[in-house]
A and B are shown apart, each in its own frame.
Chain A
Amino acid sequence: MAIALVLVLIVVGSVLFHFLSPWWWTPIASNWDYIDNTIIITFWITGAVFAAVVLFMAYCVFRFRHREGNRAAYEPENKRLESWLTIVTAVGVTSLLVPGLFVWSRFVTVPSDATEIEVIGQQWQWSFRLPGKDGKLGTSDTRDVSADNPLGVIPGDPNGQDDVVVEAADLHLPVGKPVKVLLRSIDVLHDFYIPEFRAKMDMIPGSVTYFWFTPTRTGSFQVLCAELCGQGHPLMHGMVMVDTEQDYLAWLGQQQTFAQLSTPQKTGSADQTPDRTMPSGLKVAAQLETVGSR
């Protein structure tokens, strides 16, 4: 008997928790409110099914509990009822799937005016690359990665010379402009995830993956790595600042290009975190390795 009451309490408690608890998603900062809406639809449909099934069980346990002299009914099948339940379920599932696939088609269709930017993951920091005045990112190769060229931009590619390189620092983006994020890793799997943007995607060494979004409000948003990448995984934080157009251009003006960073003067070395500067012997070994693997 206690179990019937507990089953009712589980339904009531779960519903109350859903509406009253302080734990909920962070205020959205991108165009993906479609995703939030799909989640809300899913909550309503699944919540109703959960409540219906568990309350029905509670009723059965209460109404048909064993008492002296009781005997169960004998009914092996009921084709009509089973068919109806199958149809209703199929309709319910379709009503989740259709909006879901509709939003997914938006998610995978990058608008033509989106600016391409690149995010590079490595154990355990984030770097970024923005196209320069030519609007094109230069090609890259993990085998070109070295202390002087931490992102592995192919030095001979003219498109890469004016690329803005942001190594292990914050990324800035202008508000309201769609961006296509190209994702790359030079060592293991990582995942570029900003909870407020609702979007994420793994980065795979040897491939370039992508997703797109439009930042809808200014502010600073923490980047989290969402794919286990070794012991430093939980500390692989970064920061994306969404600026007004004006602030963004001011920030952009202070950044250095690939050509500037790879000149012999090495003006950018002050930016490097201590653990990333390699001992000179190792640097040589790395360069030899690079040559050897060609």
Chain B
Amino acid sequence: MVDVTPADAVPPAEVGEMELYHPHSWWTKYVFSQDAKVIAIQYSATATSIGLVALVLSWLMRLQLGFPGTFDFITPEAYYQFITMHGMIMVIYLLTALFLGGFGNYLIPLMVGARDMVFPYVNMLSYWIYLLAVLVLVSSFFAPGGPTGAGWTLYPPQAIMSGTPGGQDWGIILMLSSLILFIIGFTMGGLNYVVTVLQGRTRGMTMMRLPLTVWGIFTATVMALLAFPALFVACVMMLLDRTLGTSFFMPAISEMGEQLPHNGGSPILFQHLFWFFGHPEVYIVALPAFGIVSDLISTHARKNIFGYRMMVWAIVGIGALSFVVWAHHMYVSGMNPYFGFFFATTTLIIAVPTAIKVYNWVLTLWRGDIHLTIPMLFALAFIVTFVNGGLTGLFLGNVVVDVPLSDTMFVVAHFHMVMGVAPIIVVFGAIYHWYPKVTGRMLDETLGRFHFWVTFLGAYLIFFPMHYLGLMGVPRRYAELTDMTIMTESAHHLNSFISIMAFIVGFAQMVFLFNLIWSIRHGREAGGNPWRATTLEWQTPQTPPAHGNFGKDLPIVYRWAYDYSVPGAKEDFIPQNVPGAFAPSREPA
């Protein structure tokens, strides 16, 4: 046995447990923090920064599409690098990281009544690995040959061949490495979110009393933990194909008259792996948005969310179904065409729980007391854009309709509306809603309304007409739209219009960023619960909540998250931690 001698590293017995748990230096408080709230802000700030890069890239693309031939520096090579990095950043490094790493970290412990995530140290590592993934991604802009231009789907064989930018340079290697890092980092965070929801809830917080925000983030995280491994193996295998010359995805190829030393691989295998991840990924982004928007609507309409149990089961059902629809991205990929019958059926079935969610949002408005606050405006805008984008999904999911529309601008318009605009609008609504809790101050109302109107109407004007270009047959991923017999002169004018709207909407985001920074010091004081909301994060003793969230005693939960306008109650909301029996019989069991 080792001879153990008491050292001063062992604290005396009279130091309270909470005292040991708090950070003791500036570094551990603000940088290498294990507080989920600080990690949330780190995640959000990093995601927003890299998101700005994606925004600039989208401007560069729209410059080329709207005004072809005007900007010499946008070569086809550069254009493909822009679309690839834009897509990958938006889907993975911005939306996934922001919803799960950002909102998940901030809201899960507060909303379930926990002091922190269950594994704070792993949670901290999760962020730092994510940051490393982002840095590796950014480094590809400075690598020889530039970033990869393979499209965000990275389909082999072209992704690792010389005809694609970065295919035989550093670009693709850095992209694959960055994704592998991201998945490792995410898994650390994701396990935390799941275990915290399952094991960290305070007394009285049953699963069926959780706010829908938590249900959305929880289900999305479970899905991500199951879906990302498929992308992980696909990345590893492609990395081996590219660096060691294996042939997982590479058949015999004659490139520009030269036979490549590959043989026997399957390019379509990559597509199955990619979309086995990629389709759940859509819902990994959408489900947190669904959850958050439910809470925004309920709070600002002063009315319980309609059909809470149905909403929970719809989230879980969508999550499960989303694992059996992946090949609807591959109807024209050359896979066995008889798969189409199966995947079209599963895909259209998913429309039913999704529609139920939409009905329940609008039925929550019915006989509500609707406060048209900025979060509520964004929630309404979300419903419009999500319904629009969801309905065009019924075109693309219905296999034979997909045949003419696949790979056209219709697809670009559809997925931007449904998983770009709609979730980002929820992000905005959520930031206006929770900023007062995070900073103690309100965001500026006038700037906020300007930001809302320009973003909502502008985004609709960008993507609604774009569907019709796709209907005309204009393909996506065309760096040049020259010599196209199907495109009329007016179609080119429409492209210019879309580009101009894109610049305007982009400008409005600068106003939003200014508001975010300016209001930290100059915003109106918010108080602890400015929206008079019921959920636990608004009931913390301090605003912003201190480390440990709830002071000496954890709250005890007596009711569901939606006791707004309960008949007989004095106020129009009853927080979850308030005991008493106002109409408890109406609460879903």
Rounded to whole Å, the gap between the CB of B564 and the closest CB of chain A is 6
Interface size of B in residues (CB-CB distance below 8 Å): 120
For B151, list chain A residues within 8 Å (CB): 228
Which listed segment binds A: B49-57, B177-185, B434-442, B463-471?
B463-471
In this complex, what residue of A is CB-closest to B162?
A230
Within 8 A of A (CB), among B565-583: 565-567, 572, 583
User: In the complex the two chains form, is B258's CB within 8 Å of A100's CB?
Assistant: no
CA distance A206 to B254 in the complex (A): 11
Residues of A near B366 (CB, < 8 A) are 60, 64
Q: How far is the CA of A108 from the CA of B338 in the complex (A)?
A: 8
Query: Which residues from chain B contact A201 at a C-beta distance below 8 Å?
Result: 332, 334
Provide the bound-state CA to CA distance between A220 and B562, in Å: 63
Of B258, B302, B403, B408, which is within 8 A of A72 by CB?
B302
Q: Which residues of B have CB within 8 Å of A282?
A: 257-258
Check if B222 is an interface residue, CB within 8 A of chain A.
Answer: no
**Contact at B304–A123, with CB atoms within 8 Å?**
no
| B contact residues around A198 at 8 Å (CB) | 403-404
Residue from the set B258, B338, B564 with the largest chain A CB neighbour count within 10 Å? B258
A61 to chain B, nearest CB (A): 6
> Would you give the shortest CB distance from A85 to chain B, in whole angstroms?
5
Specify which of A108, A193, A205 is in contact with B253 (CB 8 Å cutoff).
A205
Within 8 A of A (CB), among B218-272: 251-259, 261, 263-268
Q: Is A229 an interface residue (CB 8 A)?
A: yes
Q: Is the CB of A24 within 8 A of B367?
A: no
CA distance A91 to B172 in the complex (A): 46
Partner of B403, one of A57, A97, A188, A200: A200
Please tell me if the beta carbons of A73 and B565 are within 8 angstroms of each other in the complex. yes
User: Quick one: CB contact mask for B259-301 with A, threshold 8 Å, 1 for yes?
Assistant: 1010111111000000000000000000000000000000001
The answer, yes or no, to whether B504 is at the interface (CB within 8 Å) is no
Q: Are A96 and B348 in contact (CB under 8 A)?
A: yes
Q: Complex Cα distance A1/B370, Å?
A: 11
Q: Are B565 and A74 in contact (CB under 8 A)?
A: yes
Contact across chains for A187 and B161 when beta carbons are under 8 A apart: yes
Contact yes or no, B587 A50, CB < 8 A:
no
Q: Please give, as numbers and ranges, the residues of chain A lying within 8 Å of B567 by CB-CB distance.
A: 74
- Bound complex: CA of A175 vs CA of B259, how far in Å? 38
For the complex, give the distance between the alpha carbons of A50 and B473 in Å: 24
B48 on interface, CB distance cutoff 8 Å:
no
Q: Determine if B266 and A206 form an interchain contact, defined as CB atoms under 8 angstroms apart.
A: yes
Interface 1/0 per residue, A53-80 and B, CB below 8 Å: 1101100110011100011111111100
**B445 contacts partner chain A, Cβ-Cβ < 8 Å:** no
Report whether A191 and B258 are in contact in the complex, using a CB–CB cutoff of 8 Å.
no
- A194-245: which residues lie under 8 A (CB-CB) from chain B? 195-196, 198-207, 209, 221-222, 224-235, 237
A107 to B331 CA separation, bound complex (whole angstroms): 12
- A262 vs B73: C-alpha distance when bound (angstroms): 43
Q: Residue A285 at the B interface, CB < 8 A?
A: yes
- CB <8 Å contact, B303 and A206: no
Most buried by B among A89, A222, A232: A89
**B362 partner, pick from A53, A143, A230, beta carbons under 8 A:** A53
Contacts of B337 in A (CB 8 A): 104, 107-108
Contact with A along B473-500 (1 / 0, CB 8 A): 1010111111111101011001000000
Query: B254 contacts which of A1, A56, A187, A200 (Cβ < 8 Å)?
Result: A187
Verify B257–A77 contact, CB threshold 8 A.
no
Could you say which of A73, A195, A225 contacts B303, with CB atoms under 8 Å apart? A73
A107 engages B400 (CB within 8 Å) = yes
Q: A14-B464, A21-B468 are in contact. Are A35 and B403 (CB under 8 A)?
A: yes
Task: Beyond the given A100-B399, A107-B337, A233-B76, please list 16 additional residue pairs across the A-B interface where CB-CB is below 8 A.
Answer: A50-B391, A57-B383, A64-B366, A72-B369, A74-B303, A75-B306, A100-B400, A143-B252, A143-B254, A183-B334, A187-B157, A200-B407, A230-B164, A231-B163, A232-B76, A234-B478
A/B interface sample: 20 pairs, CB < 8 A: A23-B491, A38-B398, A53-B362, A57-B384, A61-B372, A64-B366, A74-B567, A101-B344, A147-B257, A187-B157, A188-B163, A191-B332, A195-B486, A200-B407, A205-B267, A207-B334, A226-B407, A227-B155, A231-B149, A231-B164
Q: Interface of B with A (CB < 8 Å)?
A: 76-77, 80, 149-151, 155, 157-158, 161, 163-165, 167, 251-259, 261, 263-268, 301-304, 306-310, 332-334, 337-338, 340-341, 344-345, 348-349, 351-352, 355-356, 358-360, 362-363, 365-372, 377, 380, 383-384, 387-388, 391-392, 394-395, 398-401, 403-404, 406-408, 457, 460, 464-465, 468-469, 471-473, 475, 477-486, 488, 490-491, 494, 562, 564-567, 572, 583, 586-588
Residues of A in contact with B (beta carbons under 8 Å apart)? 1, 3, 6-7, 10, 14, 17, 21-26, 32, 34-35, 38-39, 42, 45-46, 49-50, 53-54, 56-57, 60-61, 64-66, 70-78, 81-82, 85-86, 89-90, 93, 96-97, 100-101, 103-105, 107-108, 122-123, 141-143, 145-147, 152, 183, 186-189, 191, 193, 195-196, 198-207, 209, 221-222, 224-235, 237, 276, 278, 282-283, 285-286, 289-290, 293
